Amino acid sequence: MSASVLPYTVKPHPVTGVYSGKLGTWLFLASEVMLFGAFFSTYVLLRVGAPTEGAAVWPTHEQTHLSWKIGGFNTLVLIISSVTMVLAWAQLKMNNFSKARLYLIVTFVLAGLFLVVKLTMEYYPKFEAGIRPSTNIFFAAYFVLTGLHALHIVGGMVVIGYFIGPGASLWKKDPEYFTNRIECTGLYWHFVDLVWIFLFPVLYLL
């Protein structure tokens, strides 16, 4: 029934070579690349163009109060979540829904862990110390970049949570279609992880 509403939801389109959902996901991710690319470019230009003295001088790594250990831990968490996302899709390809659902749950939990660490060990201490986006240009960029990324994490958790819960019924109706949806979710999740892999060195190490 789904194929009558939107063709090529399972089989690849003869022109593009991919099914409709995957093509739509790639187009969406292309727009996301432009979004984050604009913010990254702005950050680089602000940092390169910052004065070397005066009140607007770019803060040193010590003055940013960012812990590379916390950032590194969260990086590891997201990398593992990408692995479990792939394993979920692989289990579906092997027609093993129970294991796939387990890997989706692990991915969901790891995403939640990332947010908990971000909120409790980074955002909260900074707000307690009086650090706000208005403190200086660096923290304005920091909160915008990491906040936007965190919103994408939440969006991914909503989708993953849906397929763990009510969306799981699709597996019984159309297993291949369900598998394709998990693959598209995985593409989005890998992109979110990749963005963080760029954010971590730019904000925490350089």
Of the pLDDT bands very low, low, confident and very high (cuts 50, 70, 90), residue 194 is very high
The position carrying tokens 């909160």 is: 143
Check residue 55 and give its pLDDT: 66
Of the pLDDT bands very low, low, confident and very high (cuts 50, 70, 90), residue 2 is very low
Check residue 21 and give its pLDDT: 85
Three-state DSSP class for residue 160: helix
Contact assessment for residue 126 and residue 133, using Cβ atoms and an 8 Å cutoff:
no
| pLDDT of residue 15 exceeding 80 | no
Q: What is the pTM of this model?
A: 0.90
Give the span between the Cα atoms of 9 and 47, in whole angstroms. Answer: 45
Query: Token digits for 120?
Result: 């409790």
The DSSP code sequence of 51-119 is -SSSTTPPPPHHHHT--HHHHHHHHHHHHHHHHHHHHHHHHHHTT-HHHHHHHHHHHHHHHHHHHHHHI
Q: Is 53 exposed, middle or buried (0-12, 13-18, 19+ CB in 10 A)?
A: exposed
CA 36 to the chain's CA centroid: 11
The single-letter DSSP state of residue 134 is T
| pLDDT of residue 3 exceeding 60 | no
Check residue 5 and give its pLDDT: 63
Q: Which domains does the chain have, with CATH numbers?
A: 19-51+68-205 (1.20.120.80)
CA 31 to the chain's CA centroid: 14
| pLDDT of residue 184 exceeding 90 | yes
Percentage with pLDDT > 90 across the chain = 74
Check residue 135 and give its pLDDT: 86
Angle at 52 between CA 50 and CA 57, to 5 degrees: 60
Cβ-based neighbours of 14, under 8 Å, separated by 6 or more: none
Say what angle helices 97-118 and 68-93 make with each other, to 10 degrees. Answer: 160
Contact assessment for residue 18 and residue 12, using Cβ atoms and an 8 Å cutoff:
yes
**N-term to C-term CA, the chain:** 52
| pLDDT of residue 23 exceeding 60 | yes
- Report pLDDT digits (tens) over 71-101: 999 999 999 999 999 999 999 999 999 999 9
Question: How large is the average pLDDT for residues 159-175?
Answer: 95
Check residue 110 and give its pLDDT: 98
- Report pLDDT digits (tens) over 104-136: 999 999 999 999 999 999 999 999 989 999 888
Give the span between the Cα atoms of 167 and 122, in whole angstroms. Answer: 34
Instruction: Look over the chain and give the mean of its residue pLDDT values, rounded to a whole number.
Output: 91
